[in-house]
Structure 1
């Protein structure tokens, strides 16, 4: 089977299983990993080996960028303390615990290979965390912490990984140098990311000729940030995150409405396909991973892999509770809006491993400078694979039941914030319509109709704010909006008749259809208000 045919099959399987996962209300990475495992067992399927470069330089930058773009900078900043404690403290604590377990429990694992394994599985995966919690009734604050941690902790894990591998290769390890390197690499990565974000911001502002060019520039941004940061020995992960947060913050100034609509559609599709391929490729690695391990060691290593998974999860749970309760005891300010015991439990359970850990394991050198094999490389790869499987299948499948068991519900903070902003926007717009400046923009009749429209909107929003979301039945909201809806459907029918008559160019028809799409989208938002 050729690679192109295999890619088409994988894309088809990804799309179909994502739909099945939506219907079953389970995270689709779980089904995709299982599908990859099943496909890997088919006779005649060529071996699929996931090259580390493919993950680090092709998949990782856009997936990190998409996740960070959706993360609110203000929310990220407000949760900086728990994110930092998890991204740095929890990763280092997990690394120490897992390394100790690997050294004292796994046969033949010296401290060097033990620390390499620990550095690979200690950080959580940004892609897995983002996809697994999407659609679940998780408070926005917990989602921000989980996604923010997973976006930042890769830098800690990768620095630890580099020094652990270097220690095995050279036989020397300098803890002080590693700590200083972590600060330097993080600083360079963030600086490069902000610089790239600012540079592309300027280019976007100058680009006024094509929607496609703007979308292409947005696709190039994460790759530019990642590659430049790696060139200057900084964290490519943090560079992509910094560039995304910068671009997202200033997106209102960068894109016109048509460019923003197209870019969002392209990114949604790209993110979905890349996520799907990443998880199905994880499952497809099974034959290659097993083949590298001696037959007599395979089943024992499966048991040890489960043990390492328990160590990873146990270390995280041991860190989560004290790191939250201790600041409360030391400072009264930390008491404000502190997470509950159930939320902390979900925070510990929701940290999952994914493709980044597998790529790091695959990137472990084959041999030492002396020519000898890298100690325990193949067992490290199989153990990492098992940790990822346990993380995705066990934690991923139990997230929804755990949320129900803990009694965690989504808070209404986001809804209240949205409603408050809508009220403010409608109030200030109405004030502008009543100002002398607006009087010079349109005839009095048109201005009066617009004032009435915004007054109705403001009254409805204020009623919702005081009496609740369902204070006004949808059927009585606006006959005018319902007539607009009828007219849009009628105009679509007219366009279809024109298309069947072949009297108009397809280009013109599509342009008019886009205008109807935008109008219908605006109407849907109006109705939601």
Structure 2
């Protein structure tokens, strides 16, 4: 442990430097992190990094899923739930089936069960890689919502496939009835446990005398509880974290104060960034151990790379086909919700873009490493080859799709004329409505109640001109109470606006964050 500690400290420093370099180059940082880990792994004196799959599943996965569920737009998820559900479950199963058939036909020694095992491992796209790439390009909010919603659910479906495939590999048989019951319990039990625990944690925050540090500490450990308890009941820990996280996210204004929300956002951003960076860095560091295991089985490196590239091609093709099928189904059955475009070219290229976003990462690596060496006293066949193919898939999708996706979007000019109201225009319209609502509230409720006309005039002038005074000496406790009340009025207005209009939830959340900052400023006057 002492020999690895300096490595982890250096790793975090390298991750920070690479992220800054990637931002300057306008490249997704997971790509450079994997390459950096791969290059560093060839240093002769470097300690061997052995990854425990339980560490990745239990330590890394719950907070990453929880953070994603807190940042996603639940309103957009409800709007696009059909296509999100199809990509998260049907497309994952179709991809796993495609990989299973191709692996069984082309890779010697691969049965259909082993093919499904490999397919379940490599089928879920990685949300972190896609999100890092989308920072440098402009895409419609519908596309972003679909990708984010899919990433929350496809991990659960792929891990379910892996679990059942492992049973088939170990026993040599597959009982469909038992599998169906287990599948339903994993879905229903995972969601139910997550919602129950999410409600319990919300009540704990409300009823306990917590402050900002304790609130943040609780939010850090809560996803681990959700995941672990769900797994103890043999349901889906992934779905438990997602369901609980979505519930808590929707209620964050009711059980966290502004201080906890502002400070918690910074803590979570840094925490998740470090976790993501460590995992992608370790992917590269783990290659020598994987290659050694591959050679011990007598498989040549050249053949293994060929198998990995073949599986990568199947994954890309299966996702593109699924994207076009989803587009056709939407146009036939739900044309009203189909994204509007001004040209046939845009409509034709959109599924291609969606199909090209299938970079693999954290979950695929963890699922591959979770394959036991021995099952029922017999060594699991092709384990090392599956590990190596998974690594090739992760690396090749990050390099091929990750590096070309921004270029394809800019080259095709796919979204330059997309029919969507500009964000600045939406933001301006929302702020105008917000100021009018607050000004009217002041005139209706406080104009007759306040006797100090000087104070009232200052408040009204503040909301008419939105200019911060240079001197805050006029702010007494009475006016501070009024200002705090106005902040609550604005939050209520924004929540109602978010529910009743088509305005982007991300813009509403940004304005809510500004209100939290304003409340923190008032507390310190």
Structure 1 position 118, deviation (Å): 0.9
Query: Structure 1 residues 43 and 442 mapped into 2: Cα distance closer, same or farther (>3 Å)?
Result: farther
| Cα offsets for 1:475-527 (capped at 9, x unmatched) | xxx6x67x689xxxxxxxxxxxxxxxxxxxxxxxxxxxxxxxx999659x9xx
Distance in 1 separating the partners of 2:58 and 2:140: 33
Matches within 5 A, 1:163-242: 163-242=164-243
Query: Structure 1 residues 356 and 520 mapped into 2: Cα distance closer, same or farther (>3 Å)?
Result: closer
Structure 1 position 39, deviation (Å): 0.9
| Cα offsets for 1:55-87 (capped at 9, x unmatched) | 100011111111111001111111101101100
Distance in 1 separating the partners of 2:48 and 2:258: 45
Structure 1 stretch 151-160 or stretch 176-185: which is displaced more? 176-185
Gapped regions of structure 2 (runs ≥ 5): 473-513
Distance in 2 separating the partners of 1:520 and 1:375: 55
Distance in 1 separating the partners of 2:347 and 2:160: 32
Contact 1:64 1:127 in 2 (8 A): no
Alignment match of 1:395 (pick from 393, 398, 401):
401
Aligned CA RMSD, in angstroms, stands at 2.5
Query: Structure 1 residues 229 and 451 mapped into 2: Cα distance closer, same or farther (>3 Å)?
Result: same
Gapped regions of structure 1 (runs ≥ 5): 458-477, 486-517
* 1:312 lines up with 2:321 in the alignment: no
Contact 2:53 2:370 in 1 (8 A): yes
1:421 aligns with: 430
1:98 aligns with: 99
Contact 1:189 1:234 in 2 (8 A): yes
| Cα offsets for 1:238-292 (capped at 9, x unmatched) | 1111111111111111221112121111111101111111110111110011010
Distance in 2 separating the partners of 1:519 and 1:250: 17
Contact 1:63 1:127 in 2 (8 A): no
| Cα offsets for 1:32-56 (capped at 9, x unmatched) | 0111001101111111122101110
Structure 1 position 202, deviation (Å): 0.9
2:385 aligns with: 379
1:255 aligns with: 256
Q: Secondary structure at the match of 2:375?
A: coil
Distance in 2 separating the partners of 1:135 and 1:207: 42
Query: Structure 1 residues 437 and 62 mapped into 2: Cα distance closer, same or farther (>3 Å)?
Result: same
Structure 1 position 441, deviation (Å): 4.6
* 1:444 lines up with 2:453 in the alignment: yes
Q: Secondary structure at the match of 2:415?
A: coil
Distance in 2 separating the partners of 1:263 and 1:134: 22
| Cα offsets for 1:360-394 (capped at 9, x unmatched) | 1111121231x332111111110111011111121
Alignment match of 1:347 (pick from 328, 342, 354):
354
2:286 aligns with: 285
2:162 aligns with: 161
Contact 1:52 1:360 in 2 (8 A): yes
Distance in 2 separating the partners of 1:357 and 1:442: 66
Contact 1:140 1:414 in 2 (8 A): no
Matches within 5 A, 1:144-159: 144-159=145-160
1:126 aligns with: 127
Contact 1:207 1:214 in 2 (8 A): no
Distance in 1 separating the partners of 2:451 and 2:272: 44
Query: Structure 1 residues 442 and 352 mapped into 2: Cα distance closer, same or farther (>3 Å)?
Result: farther
Structure 1 position 177, deviation (Å): 3.7
Query: Structure 1 residues 519 and 436 mapped into 2: Cα distance closer, same or farther (>3 Å)?
Result: closer
Structure 1 position 3, deviation (Å): 1.1
Distance in 2 separating the partners of 1:362 and 1:442: 71
Distance in 1 separating the partners of 2:219 and 2:151: 22
TM-score by length of 2: 0.84
Distance in 2 separating the partners of 1:93 and 1:232: 28
* 1:299 lines up with 2:305 in the alignment: no
Distance in 2 separating the partners of 1:145 and 1:18: 26
Structure 1 position 18, deviation (Å): 0.5
Matches within 5 A, 1:106-125: 106-125=107-126
Distance in 2 separating the partners of 1:342 and 1:446: 58
1:492 aligns with: none
Distance in 1 separating the partners of 2:49 and 2:125: 24
Distance in 2 separating the partners of 1:149 and 1:484: 50
2:90 aligns with: 89
Q: Secondary structure at the match of 1:351?
A: coil
TM-score by length of 1: 0.84
Structure 1 stretch 32-41 or stretch 240-249: which is displaced more? 240-249
Distance in 1 separating the partners of 2:354 and 2:339: 18
Distance in 2 separating the partners of 1:285 and 1:190: 34
Query: Structure 1 residues 325 and 112 mapped into 2: Cα distance closer, same or farther (>3 Å)?
Result: same
1:27 aligns with: 28
Q: Secondary structure at the match of 1:142?
A: helix
Contact 1:433 1:439 in 2 (8 A): no
Structure 1 position 237, deviation (Å): 0.9
Q: Secondary structure at the match of 2:137?
A: coil
Distance in 2 separating the partners of 1:484 and 1:50: 57
Contact 1:159 1:178 in 2 (8 A): no
2:373 aligns with: 366
Q: How many residues align?
A: 470
